[in-house]
Structure 1
């Protein structure tokens, strides 16, 4: 049994999603519920999934993309939900979600802000709460701090008790903004490996944790620069690998693992259980909704997904797709029409 909805449908991995009718499979058990979708973030993770390049991709088409969203259940409750890989994605006017992956939101919550911020903030929040729990006063380097997730990681680290946070990135304009959101120092990642390595060693050699959104050549160079610059190589350095903007592989000398107390691990789907992720969501949502973690977002109609998908992104702003068959609820955000 199916129900017809309008959705962003991926019919080919070589073409952006098209807004068109889609037959949504009905819930098959009591754990699955229908949700009227209000807002869905267009995250980098969503783009890689829609292109078939994410490591969780099955290659099955057609598909509806998306990893999370905000919606309203049939009983009227407002919820944030995390999509299940086995179910249709949330970029649709309605979708089916696992009720166990829904977290209630208070009426009046800023659903666009929640949809924009939860995914990029979740990576560093879970990394510093579950993967390598941060201790009060520890220092953190964010590698790739000029991206959306990196900017949020600086705020998250501070909110969770970091004593000092260093942000490293390539975009000089956005790098200059980092002190305003909590960075105690910044490092410009340039094309000159020697100069970049020296700057990283000076600013961040003694950090306790690294949150890495880059990987590739920059990460390999940074690892060696930090380890060689540490006064005591026996003091633990935890490197948490989250993104691979600069490349999917690195070349790392084995001496990096033998000559220092260096621990390399990742954070993502599979590294932390779904249950652990879900347990962290209410506290993170509260931080975002009350302004403890800030993000800039722009809302655009889901019906325009094909043109939005290929349009240049505004640096520092996360795009959120909202349903067009809607009226404004009391929070001033789109809500599906009855």
Structure 2
């Protein structure tokens, strides 16, 4: 069968022949319909992600961790948990788990939208416990996940959403998606620090950060109090991505009396995820989530892998 194959960490996947997958006990053979190409796939295939060696214990290997497939009965399903060296970016997979996709939902949307929605929905709702009327800042809102986060925050009842980003077209679009204010990250650092100080002074309850790196350092610095005393506000800061860098310099003063509470997605049960997925499917069917999707042939994986012109667009691979 044809698949997107790497022979070592750091390689660009190539469209090539790979031995057919043979299902083991408990696995289901599926024809692949659509797979979303995400930064997670690039990170794990680079060898630098903490899960790289688990996902790629040997080479050659097929990249991709999940997607949408079709059963032999013709049913569309979401799949995952493939046995290395087999991944999702192939003509066929042997999946360790499958979940039915509701009727009427396009395979490309089913592949692209749910994961991005859950990336924001789960930490905002269950980790930060966002309350109606609270203010949310989405750091890195012009990317795919950031755009969805703006929509999810409003869906959960946020009273105000502040969005940051670098792309001018996306910053304009964010107003239509629910952002009440935007911060342009292309500003010189001095002006950007002032902009962050201004929005922090106006009151922020939750931050969901898809950038980390230097933008996060400037934002976190804005929370450092300029006078002695206890924190005046609780600020839940969700670290969700690292498009601008994998580490930050974090002074102790950023945490001592600022009210900042740093967190990740948090501990969320499988039952919770499955329950929330019902709402996500309903939202997709009702057209509630806006996402720009471009379908790309799996045969063009090498070009797709190295694309830098996406501007908030999600690529979906179609075998």
TM-score w.r.t. length of structure 1: 0.85
Determine the C-alpha separation between the residues in 1 that align with 2:83 and 2:130: 30
- In 2 relative to 1, CA 109–229 (structure 1 residues): closer, same or farther, beyond 3 Å? farther
SS of residue matched to 1:126: helix
Give a deviation string over 1:194-229, Cα, whole Å, max 9, x none.
211221222244111000011112112101213438
Structure 1: stretches of 5+ with no match in the other structure: 324-338
Q: What residue in structure 2 maps to residue 251 of structure 1?
A: 249
| Matching of residue 201 in structure 1 with residue 223 in structure 2 | no
Q: What residue in structure 1 maps to residue 147 of structure 2?
A: 151
Determine the C-alpha separation between the residues in 2 that align with 1:204 and 1:289: 37
SS of residue matched to 2:19: strand
Q: What residue in structure 2 maps to residue 104 of structure 1?
A: 100
Q: What residue in structure 2 maps to residue 68 of structure 1?
A: 66
SS of residue matched to 2:79: strand
Alignment equivalent of 1:172, drawn from 168, 175, 185: 168
CA contact (8 A) 1:121 1:149 kept: yes
Q: Report the CA distance between 1:41 and its aligned residue.
A: 0.6
Q: Report the CA distance between 1:294 and its aligned residue.
A: 0.8
Give a deviation string over 1:231-250, Cα, whole Å, max 9, x none.
98332100000101111111
| Matching of residue 12 in structure 1 with residue 15 in structure 2 | no
Q: What residue in structure 2 maps to residue 330 of structure 1?
A: none
Q: What residue in structure 1 maps to residue 296 of structure 2?
A: 300
CA contact (8 A) 1:87 1:96 kept: no
Q: Report the CA distance between 1:74 and its aligned residue.
A: 2.6
Determine the C-alpha separation between the residues in 2 that align with 1:234 and 1:47: 41
Give a deviation string over 1:151-186, Cα, whole Å, max 9, x none.
111011111111110001122232122101100111
- In 2 relative to 1, CA 48–289 (structure 1 residues): closer, same or farther, beyond 3 Å? farther
Determine the C-alpha separation between the residues in 2 that align with 1:118 and 1:210: 21
Q: What residue in structure 2 maps to residue 216 of structure 1?
A: 213
Structure 2: stretches of 5+ with no match in the other structure: none
- In 2 relative to 1, CA 179–85 (structure 1 residues): closer, same or farther, beyond 3 Å? farther
Q: Report the CA distance between 1:260 and its aligned residue.
A: 2.4
Q: Report the CA distance between 1:28 and its aligned residue.
A: 2.4
Q: Report the CA distance between 1:146 and its aligned residue.
A: 1.1
Q: Report the CA distance between 1:24 and its aligned residue.
A: 4.2
Q: How does 1:1-338 map to 2 (within 5 A)?
A: 5-30=1-26, 32-58=27-53, 59-60=56-57, 61-84=59-82, 88-99=86-97, 102-205=98-201, 206-228=203-225, 233-267=231-265, 272-274=268-270, 276-323=272-319
SS of residue matched to 2:225: helix
SS of residue matched to 1:23: coil
Determine the C-alpha separation between the residues in 1 that align with 2:230 and 2:286: 40
Q: What residue in structure 2 maps to residue 332 of structure 1?
A: none
SS of residue matched to 1:176: helix
Determine the C-alpha separation between the residues in 1 that align with 2:9 and 2:256: 42
Determine the C-alpha separation between the residues in 2 that align with 1:200 and 1:62: 46
Q: Report the CA distance between 1:86 and its aligned residue.
A: 5.5
TM-score w.r.t. length of structure 2: 0.90
- In 2 relative to 1, CA 46–278 (structure 1 residues): closer, same or farther, beyond 3 Å? farther
CA contact (8 A) 2:205 2:235 kept: yes
